[in-house]
């Protein structure tokens, strides 16, 4: 779906999505704009899936062996499954991010995260996933049970609507300017001095800072 289509597609609020009759809407995909508020850590972030059907592998009776009974499969595929608490101005819901949608948005495959980056603990959410928190996204959702959706698409919020609590630039700019002006005046008010002779003057904080800074710069 192109950027233009995403702009014009009908987006539902989360309160409307939560009220959908899921028996009628099971196969219908819905769009919404929501904040990815929080990763639900207790749900973990991956599981061992069957490479064919992606169902979770289960232990064979009386054995430690994990299998997919349906496909007689013994080797597993690491599969993303991240539960997100999503939020808009109307309500909250849980949305599950899986498979290639998760790979795309995290910029890494589940297997690479586990094997190459050594993120083996299912309950410790890697930074690649945690960075999603707070982002506003356009989501294509498949309604599941109540307050539970499967994410079928996750897109940049091209619209970037401005939150209402934003301070008007007309009030913030002059304040900043006044502050900067005052700061400059403070610096001006300092007597100009010869750095060599003033080096050991204890009250001269500004000169001490400057020399510490240049020491650091020398190290870099
Ligand atoms: Zn299977």
CB-CB neighbours of 198 under 10 Å: 12
29 contacts 144 by C-beta, under 8 angstroms: no
Q: Which domains does the chain have, with CATH numbers?
A: 3-156 (2.40.50.140), 169-219 (no CATH)
Cα–ligand 1 centroid distance for 67 (angstroms)? 8
pLDDT at residue number 180: 56
Burial class of residue 217 in the structure, from the number of CB atoms within 10 Å of its CB (0-12 exposed, 13-18 middle, 19+ buried): exposed
Does 134 or 23 have the greater pLDDT score? 134
For 156, the 3-state DSSP assignment is strand
Cα–ligand 1 centroid distance for 59 (angstroms)? 13
Cα–ligand 1 centroid distance for 114 (angstroms)? 21
Q: How confident is the model at residue 64 (pLDDT cuts 50, 70, 90)?
A: confident
Rounded CA-CA distance 49/67 in Å is 9
pLDDT at residue number 32: 95
Beta strands 58-59 and 136-143, pairing class? unpaired
Question: pTM for the complete prediction?
Answer: 0.68
Neighbours of ion ligand 1 (CB under 5 A): 50, 52-53, 68, 70-71
Does 79 or 213 have the greater pLDDT score? 79
pLDDT at residue number 167: 46
CB-CB neighbours of 111 under 10 Å: 14
41 contacts 133 by C-beta, under 8 angstroms: no
């Amino acid at each position: 779906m192109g950027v233009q289509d995403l702009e014009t597609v009908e987006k539902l609020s989360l309160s409307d999505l939560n009220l959908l009759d899921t028996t009628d809407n099971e196969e219908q995909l819905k769009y919404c704009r929501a904040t990815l508020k929080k990763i639900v850590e207790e749900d973990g972030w991956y599981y061992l899936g069957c490479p064919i059907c992606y169902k979770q592998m289960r232990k064979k009776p009386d054995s430690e062996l994990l299998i997919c009974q349906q496909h007689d499969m013994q080797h597993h595929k690491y599969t993303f499954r991240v539960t997100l608490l999503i939020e808009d101005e109307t309500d909250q819901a849980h949305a599950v991010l899986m498979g290639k949608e998760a790979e795309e948005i995290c910029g890494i495959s589940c297997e690479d995260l586990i094997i190459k980056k050594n993120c083996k603990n299912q309950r410790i959410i890697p930074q690649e996933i945690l960075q999603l928190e707070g982002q506003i996204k356009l989501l294509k959702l498949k309604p599941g049970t109540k307050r539970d959706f499967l994410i079928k698409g996750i897109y940049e919020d091209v619209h970037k609507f401005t939150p209402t609590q934003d301070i008007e630039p007309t009030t913030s700019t002059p304040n900043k300017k006044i502050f900067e002006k005052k700061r400059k005046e403070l610096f001006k008010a300092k007597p100009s001095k010869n750095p060599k002779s003033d080096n050991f003057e204890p009250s001269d904080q500004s000169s001490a800072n400057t020399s510490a800074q240049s020491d650091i710069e020398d190290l870099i």
